[in-house]
Structure 1
Amino acid sequence: MSRISKYKLKKLIKNISLLVVVVIIFLSLGELIARFANVEKSEYDVFFMEGNSNLSNQLIPNAEGYFKDHYTKINKDGFRDNKDYSVKKPRDVLRIISLGASFTFGEGVDLEDTYSKQLEVSLNNYCEDKIEVLNMGVSGYNMVYELETLKEKGLKYGPDLIMVNLFSRPNVQYRYFPLKDSLKRHSYLFAYLRKKYQIVNLKYLTAKSEQVEGGEIFVNTIGREQNEKTLQEFIDIGKGKDVSILFLYFPILEDEEDFVDPDVEFYKNMLEYLESVNEDNLDLTDAFVGKNFEDLWVSKNNHHPNRKGHEIAAEELHNHIVKKIEC
């Protein structure tokens, strides 16, 4: 290599190194400014992290703060609760695992107002403090993810009963990417720029997937065959572990007159299938017929059930479960 070529190479390396240093300084200053300006990070970034090969997203262990305007705490094992539980179940305790999506998680309500915790209180009053209900619901989950949560997290707690909330729109999932997720949770600058980008993207660009706060939402191709396979695996686990499986359907509170769920036909087929293969199923639809749904919403902009909506579900569950348990 000639002297001129070596000189040019050294100069190029020097310029690239200088550029890298300038970019790092610029980004560091931007991060400091964003932090001093107290740029608010998305609440999804605070509570959700990327999943593993089997789960799209997971709750961050020990995360706490305000989610949908309500104080929310995630325990050390990564599910919503203000306390941790011993993996080994006490002898005199009947333990229930509650699986589901955002209705189960309790978007827009306090932990004690979720149907899982209201059920825990009512059953303890009935059974004199011998019941634990572990709320393992995660917003955005479908039945496949609920099944993986049960296998990876729920079964080790030795449940006596597993409640699976079929809920609605099980084919909607959040897609998270490790690097992006890490930046969202740790960088105020990235969170700020990403939020601005999404605003522009929604206004001026044609997005391939619907943009939502916290991630890209997409419609999965999980169909009836896959759902039936998943339901059957729940049932097989219950039989293998000698644990009761209760499938419940908590309908979307949208249409007051006709009670039309966008996926009602899908769920009708699924419930019919369950009737043929599982003994313990609970459809909550009738409990909500005739109710003014607006009175059961968190708000006009958030149609998740409020405390009263959860209370109706908890009462139905209580009446169903007390017929099957021994206190």
Structure 2
Amino acid sequence: MKNLKNALVNLSLLLGSVILTLLAMEGVFRLLDVRGTHAPRIYSWDHALVPKEERLPGVQIQFKPHVEMEMRYDSNPRGAFNEHNTLVFHTNNFGFRGPDFTEAKPPGTRRVILLGDSFTFAEGVNWEDSFPNRLAALLSPPDSTPTEVLPVATSAWNTLDEIHYLEHQGLKFQPDLVLVIFVANDAEYAGGMDLWENYWRRHESPLLRFSYLASSVYNVVQRRIDGRRYIDALVNYGLGFKPEWERCRDALLKGRDLAQGAGANYAVVIFPFMYDLSETHPFLAVYRMIEEHCEANNIPVWSLLPDFMGWDYSDLWVHPTDQHPNEIGHRIAAESLERFLREEQLLGPRRKSP
């Protein structure tokens, strides 16, 4: 009887210790605001959209000049948002992010146009931390020719939107260099090839909202078990959408011809999705297809992936519900881009086609 009593006491002490440890860990997770369930980001940009009948031909979305937009999250893990967990965007006189600029290029200035989607728009990132802004600073040291970097980019654009805009308006900016910033969903979201909402929702359990600790553990385990399988299936399915990829590749060629016809250099830069940044990156088949297409058609092409390798991809997310690159990712991209432009001498006179 005495042994049984001692055993019960020891078991009670053990259970008490476990409970206290879990409660302490729960407290730490709450203090650090680390959790595995999140409300979706909130944004309403309808007021900022140019009416459909006023948009340029072939361009599905355009933002109005000089409007303010907000994106709100349920937490602020990086301290990059304001006190309401909100990031405020402002558009310039042409409806893009960044400072106002003149249509005609100022004398004695080089101009680089970055055609892109939400990555180049720098969704979720303050403008001063964005790679277009950082790249402009890297390309304009005090003793060199002033260089303007114009982010001609809008959330949800694809390659067709970008080249249509270049054709109907972008060439009026008199660029010396046109860079297409390519992301794996730029072939008209072929097969739903995207990560954002579906990806994070798959790895959250609403039943565990009561616990930051339990929901975090569940999230990590689910991502390890299911994440890669889900993304591999997404890529394989998306690559089967042949017409969308053909239109995307044709648009890249049209962009080359438009830029070179206007006396500008032209190149394609591949910005990877922020997932498994290693030699087993699941979107490699997409990138290789674009690289081979560019190389076969004498288009300089550069992948940013090698410069991201070794990073824990979740450390580069804007937010657990938003896998756009954060300010660290934008810094890496800007430094890699500067190296590419200088190595390929794309900032000088137009390269002659072989």
With the shorter chain as reference, the TM-score category is: 0.5 to 0.7
Shift of 1:114: 1.4
User: Of residues 107, 114, 118 in structure 2, which corresponds to 1:91?
Assistant: 107
Shifted more, 129-138 versus 311-320: the winner is 129-138
Give how far 1:49 is off. 3.7
User: Hey, what's the Cα distance between the residues in 2 that align with 1:55 and 1:264?
Assistant: 28
- What is the aligned residue count? 241
Which stretch shifts more, 298-307 or 70-79?
70-79
1:253 is matched by which residue type in structure 2?
Answer: M
Kindly tell me: are residues 279 and 228 of structure 1, through their superposed partners in 2, closer, same or farther at Cα, counting changes over 3 Å? closer
Give the distance between the partners of 1:259 and 1:162, measured in 2 at CA.
30
Question: 1:239/1:100 Cα in 2 relative to 1: closer, same or farther (>3 Å)?
Answer: same
Q: Secondary structure at the match of 1:98?
A: strand
Superposed counterparts of 1:178-327, under 5 Å: 222-256=243-277, 259-261=280-282, 263-323=283-343, 324=345, 325-326=347-348
Residue 278 of structure 1, CA deviation: 2.3
Q: 1:221–1:57: structure 2 CA closer, same or farther, 3 Å change rule?
A: farther
- State the Cα distance separating 1:273 from its structure 2 match: 1.0
CA displacement, residues 222-276 of structure 1 (integer Å, 9 cap, x when unaligned): 4232222111111111221111012000000112455434x54233212111011
Change (3 A) 1:228 1:314: same
Contact 2:43 2:70 in 1 (8 A): no
How far the C-alpha of 1:50 sits from its partner, in A, is 4.3
How much has 1:90 moved relative to structure 2? 1.4
1:71 — aligned with what? 88
Q: Is the 8 A contact 1:250 1:283 kept in 2?
A: yes
Tell me whether 54-63 or 127-136 shows the greater mean CA deviation: 127-136
Aligned mates of 1:301, 1:250 — CA distance in 2 = 19
Tell me the amino acid that sits aligned with residue 76 of structure 1: N
For normalisation by structure 2, the TM-score amounts to 0.63
CA distance in 1, matches of 2:325, 2:335: 14
Structure 1 segments of 4+ aligned residues over 4 angstroms from their partners? 219-222, 256-259
Change in 2 beyond 3 A, CA 1:157/1:129: same
Aligned equivalents of 2:110, 2:278: Cα separation in 1: 39
Aligned counterparts of 1:298 and 1:257: Cα–Cα separation in 2: 20
Instruction: Write 1 or 2 for the structure with the bigger share of strand.
Output: 1
Counterpart pick for 2:125 among 80, 86, 109: 109
Contact 1:49 1:59 in 2 (8 A): yes
User: How much has 1:91 moved relative to structure 2?
Assistant: 1.6
Structure 1 stretch displaced more, 265-274 or 247-256: 265-274
The yes-or-no answer on 1:56 pairing with 2:45 is no
Match of 1:166 in 2: 182
Letter in 2 for 1:110: N
CA RMSD in angstroms comes to: 2.5
In the aligned structure 1, how far is the partner of 2:155 from the partner of 2:261? 28
Residue 99 of structure 1 and its aligned partner are, at CA, apart by 0.7
Structure 1 unmatched runs, 5+: 1-40, 174-218
Q: Is the 8 A contact 1:65 1:71 kept in 2?
A: yes
Q: Is the 8 A contact 1:163 1:246 kept in 2?
A: yes
C-alpha contact (below 8 Å) 1:114/1:310 kept by paired residues: yes
In structure 2, distance between residues paired with 1:112 and 1:129: 21
User: Where does residue 237 of structure 2 map in the other structure?
Assistant: none
* TM-score relative to the length of structure 1: 0.68
**Deviation at residue 127 of structure 1 after TM alignment:** 5.1
Q: How far apart are 1:71 and its partner, in Å?
A: 2.1
